[in-house]
A and B are shown apart, each in its own frame.
Chain A
Amino acid sequence: DSGVTQTPKHLITATGQRVTLRCSPRSGDLSVYWYQQSLDQGLQFLIHYYNGEERAKGNILERFSAQQFPDLHSELNLSSLELGDSALYFCASSPGVNTEAFFGQGTRLTVV
Chain B
Amino acid sequence: GQQVMQIPQYQHVQEGEDFTTYCNSSTTLSNIQWYKQRPGGHPVFLIQLVKSGEVKKQKRLTFQFGEAKKNSSLHITATQTTDVGTYFCAALSTSGTYKYIFGTGTRLKVLA
CA distance A105 to B37 in the complex (A): 11
CA distance A17 to B44 in the complex (A): 32
Is B98's CB under 8 angstroms from A48's CB?
A: yes
Q: Which applies to chain A's interface (DSSP): helix, strand, loop or mixed?
A: strand
Is A56's CB under 8 angstroms from B93's CB?
A: yes
Stretch of A20-28, A61-69, A73-81, A94-102 on the interface side: A94-102
Q: Determine whether B73 belongs to the interface, using a CB cutoff of 8 Å to chain A.
A: no
CB distance from B28 to the nearest CB of A (A): 15
Residues of A within 8 A of B (CB): 2, 33, 35, 42-45, 48, 50, 55-58, 90, 92, 97-106
Is A55's CB under 8 angstroms from B100's CB?
A: no
Is B99's CB under 8 angstroms from A45's CB?
A: yes
Q: Which residues of B contact A100 (CB under 8 A)?
A: 33, 45, 48
Q: Which residues of A contact B92 (CB under 8 A)?
A: 98
Given A42-B88, A42-B104, A42-B105: A103 touches B98 (CB 8 Å cut-off)? no
CA distance A43 to B98 in the complex (A): 16
Among residues of A, the one whose C-beta sits closest to the C-beta of B101 is A45
Is A42's CB under 8 angstroms from B103's CB?
A: yes
User: Which of A2, A43, A50, A99 counts the most chain B CB atoms within 10 A?
Assistant: A43
Is B102's CB under 8 angstroms from A43's CB?
A: yes
Q: Which residues of A contact B48 (CB under 8 A)?
A: 99-100
- In the complex, given contacts A45-B99, A56-B99, what are 17 additional A-B residue pairs having Cβ atoms less than 8 angstroms apart? A2-B42, A35-B102, A44-B102, A48-B97, A55-B99, A56-B93, A58-B99, A90-B42, A90-B43, A97-B98, A98-B30, A100-B45, A100-B48, A103-B35, A103-B42, A103-B43, A106-B42
